[in-house]
Amino acid sequence: MKRDVRITILKSEMDQKLAEQYAVSGFEACPFHKTGQVFVSDGEHKPEGLCEYAWKPIKEMVKMLSEGELLQPRGTWMVDDDKGVFSCVDGLRPVIMLIEAIHADEDE
């Protein structure tokens, strides 16, 4: 049974030192994602509003969780095996995300 997967934005960071060295003038933290935003994927499709650079590194793991698979061997990484913490691919202003399988008995 496929499950939906919740993607929660935990925080948006910016490396000021790297931004000063490599980014254009006026560069700021991610304009698309803010702490607390929540998106839901059916396990196959990118949720509307989620940046492509946030989706690319997590899409296979979202699919795994949707299909009931674990991201790592049980008890080796996260306290809850149905969750994972990842970041987008923007090295200057990474967005940190929690992905977690939504269980049928859970309220969204």
For residue range 9-26, what is the model confidence (pLDDT) as tens digits?
999 999 999 999 999 999
pLDDT of 59 above 90: yes
pLDDT value for 79: 83
**What whole-number distance in Å separates Cα of residue 99 and Cα of residue 61?**
8
Long-range (24+ apart) CB contacts under 8 A made by 11-20 are 11/35, 11/95, 11/96, 12/93, 12/94, 12/95, 12/96, 13/93, 13/94, 13/95, 13/96, 14/92, 14/93, 15/91, 15/92, 15/93, 18/91, 18/92, 19/92, 19/93
Average pLDDT, the chain: 91
In a domain, 48, yes or no: yes
pLDDT of 105 above 80: no
Give the global pTM. 0.89
Length of the chain: 108
How many distinct structural domains can be found in the chain?
1
In a domain, 21, yes or no: yes
- CB neighbour list of residue 35: distance below 8 Å, 6 or more residues apart: 9, 10, 11, 12
Q: Which range of residues forms the domain containing residue 48?
A: 5-101
In a domain, 9, yes or no: yes
pLDDT value for 91: 93
In a domain, 53, yes or no: yes
